[in-house]
Amino acid sequence: MSRRSAFWRCLRKSGPTVLALGAVLILGVCPASAGNRALLIAIDDYEGDDYDLLPGSSRKDQNDIQSLALQKLGFAASDIRHLTNEQATRDAILAALDALIEETAPGDKVLLQFSGHGTQIKDDSGDEPDHYDEALVPWDIGTDPLGHLIRDDLLEPRIAALRGRDVLVIIDSCNSGSATRGFSREGLRRNAPGLFAARRDATPGAGATSPAFLPQDAAETFIDVPTRSGMRVWSAVAASEVAMVDRDAHQGVFTRLLMEAVVARKADINGNGIISNAEVLSFIREQSQAYCQKERECTSLTPTLEASGEAMHRDFSTGRQDGEIAGIALDALGKPESSAVQVTLTPASPVRLGSTVSFSITSPVEGYLVVFDINAARQITQLFPNLYSEKRGKDHHQVRSGETITIPDASYGFSFQAEEPLGAGVIMAVVTSDEVSLSSLTARHRGFKVVEDPVAYVDSLSAPLQQALTNQMAGRPVKWTYGLLPYSIQP
């Protein structure tokens, strides 16, 4: 792809560019009975010419998300309202969001999409870990560049008021999880100098290799999504990054990839017919990185998803889940970042009932290991970490690159025997290179007892792996990988 094919989707400033957001919002113009509602917002022709994006690029996003809503998400044409260009003023957007609350009820579907500029500005309420608010840029930015921004402080209570609905938010813009969508640097200097001054303390050129990543529990998100809320907030990039417009496709990179993942069904990694949220996220992240590597202007693109852990294994469009726990586990994990963990069984499968068995795990990277068994009865048992690994100094389940962990080894003082149920099972081993919040999960299951709620176990393992780590200038996914070994026990 040529260098000309890239286009920023952010409001430019010193350091990171301003947020360019892409999400679907519903516009309420008159009272209506409760039901499904979708609001689609697209701005590429701003009030000030200095802020214009590639002509038609945001509208192409809007049209594609409308097709997604009609074809995959169960919306009718009468459910969908649009705010496009001059219609998408600050007041109109806020009124449309308020209408979403009034026109829907718990159990309804709500889709909110925004494609346009986004930005970051100094936090004025003290609620941001990085001291900067994320903001949407409405059409009438030229009237009052700073005062007309729609900060996340205004959006969060409105999204929270939709609790109980099935809420899907799609933001294709800079700093949306964060982004850049085509603001000229000179135009911003003339018209919105405060946006440039906001981040003068940031380090120019810092990339995803910078060590100054925020801890996961402090990493910036666009909207704080309550646990198990039924809400999903998709963002084109991490909160500190610049989103891009693909000139060849004439639309946002993120929206193009979302359509490929869901509509073209390219994200079904394990081929079970479920295109899970985790699989969609994995696909878009992998393809965003591939796009970024071809573009000299691109430092990093880290699409993000804010959702409950329970959402990760469910189908993006329908919410369905696989009928087998092994399929649910694969759907929840998506695709790993690096080469697979090696898992071996001694003796090799098929294993005879009553045979003495052991499992060996070799990690390709240094990190933190979790191993679990899914047997033929769809039960999960955590094999590592366990009470005996703690006694060997493995209480933090750390492994070195190339190290082989055998379960059980001689220090355990006992052996495993193959027992019923007969049939096919699978061993799964996950290694995280980043220290993520898994200890509260693994500590509850160290005694080789069957996990009471296997789906909740898989979701609790998966959710931290899907998060993004951010610093002031860039982001990246949590680094992790996994391996699996199918086996069978026979009489």
Residue 20: per-residue pLDDT: 39
Check: CB of residue 434 under 8 Å from CB of residue 470. Answer: no
Domain end (from 272, 302, 332): 332
The CATH code of the domain that includes 362 is 2.60.40.1930
Q: Is the pLDDT of residue 243 over 70?
A: yes
- Are 63 and 139 contained in the same domain? yes
- Are 358 and 486 contained in the same domain? yes
For range 200-208, the mean pLDDT:
27
* Confidence category of residue 131, pLDDT binned at 50, 70, 90: low
Among residues of the chain, what percentage have pLDDT more than 70? 77
* Whole-angstrom distance, CA of residue 203 vs CA of residue 232: 32
- Are 101 and 139 contained in the same domain? yes
Q: Is the pLDDT of residue 16 over 50?
A: no
For range 316-322, the mean pLDDT:
97
- Are 345 and 300 contained in the same domain? no
Largest CA distance in the chain: 79
Residue 145: per-residue pLDDT: 74
* Whole-angstrom distance, CA of residue 23 vs CA of residue 152: 13
Q: Is the pLDDT of residue 469 over 90?
A: no
pLDDT tens-place string over residues 160-185:
899 999 999 999 987 553 222 323 33
* Confidence category of residue 472, pLDDT binned at 50, 70, 90: low
The CATH code of the domain that includes 38 is 3.40.50.1460
- Are 392 and 459 contained in the same domain? yes
For range 26-30, the mean pLDDT:
38
> For residues 434 and 487, which has the higher predicted lDDT (pLDDT)?
487
Distance of CA 388 to the CA centre of its chain: 35
pLDDT tens-place string over residues 338-366:
678 999 999 999 999 999 999 999 999 99
> For residues 445 and 135, which has the higher predicted lDDT (pLDDT)?
445
* Confidence category of residue 253, pLDDT binned at 50, 70, 90: very high
- Are 303 and 357 contained in the same domain? no
Residue 47: count other Cβ atoms within 10 Å of its Cβ. Answer: 18
Residue 325: per-residue pLDDT: 96
Task: Kindly write down the DSSP assignment for every residue of 203-217, as one continuous string.
Answer: -TT--TT-S-PPPGG
Check: CB of residue 93 under 8 Å from CB of residue 100. Answer: no
Most confident range (mean pLDDT) of 6-20, 109-123, 244-258, 390-404 is 244-258
- Are 121 and 17 contained in the same domain? yes
Token pair for residue 206?
Answer: 């810092």
* Of 218-227, 352-361, 453-462, the least confident: 218-227
- Are 419 and 295 contained in the same domain? no
* Whole-angstrom distance, CA of residue 325 vs CA of residue 346: 24
**Residue 85 belongs to domain spanning:** 3-332
Strands 37-42 and 80-84: parallel
* Confidence category of residue 48, pLDDT binned at 50, 70, 90: confident
Q: Is the pLDDT of residue 433 over 50?
A: yes
* Confidence category of residue 217, pLDDT binned at 50, 70, 90: very low
Q: Is the pLDDT of residue 393 over 70?
A: no
Most confident range (mean pLDDT) of 138-142, 251-255, 430-434 is 251-255
* Whole-angstrom distance, CA of residue 37 vs CA of residue 111: 6
- Are 327 and 341 contained in the same domain? no
* Strands, sheet with 244-246, edge to edge from the N-terminal-most edge strand: 6-8, 244-246, 251-252
Residue 55: count other Cβ atoms within 10 Å of its Cβ. Answer: 10
Residue 200: count other Cβ atoms within 10 Å of its Cβ. Answer: 10
Check: CB of residue 426 under 8 Å from CB of residue 359. Answer: no
| pTM: predicted TM-score of the whole model, two decimal places | 0.84
- Are 243 and 291 contained in the same domain? yes
Domain end (from 332, 352, 377): 332
Q: In whole numbers, what is the pLDDT of the chain averaged over residues?
A: 80
* Of 135-139, 151-155, 487-491, the least confident: 151-155
- Are 279 and 366 contained in the same domain? no
- Are 249 and 234 contained in the same domain? yes
> For residues 259 and 411, which has the higher predicted lDDT (pLDDT)?
259
Domain count, the chain: 2
Domain end (from 317, 332, 347): 332
| Distances 457 to 256, 279, 408, 454, 463 between C-alpha atoms, Å | 33, 18, 22, 5, 10
Identify residue 141 by its one-letter amino acid code. I
For range 430-449, the mean pLDDT:
88
Strands 480-490 and 398-399: unpaired
For range 147-167, the mean pLDDT:
88
Task: Kindly write down the DSSP assignment for every residue of 219-283, as one continuous string.
Answer: ---SS-PPTT-SEEEEESSBTTS--EEETTTTEEHHHHHHHHHHTS-TT-TT-SS--BHHHHHHH
Task: Please tell me whether residue 317 adopts helix, strand or coil conformation.
Answer: coil
* Confidence category of residue 308, pLDDT binned at 50, 70, 90: confident
Check: CB of residue 455 under 8 Å from CB of residue 339. Answer: no
* Residue carrying the six token digits 């809400």: 231
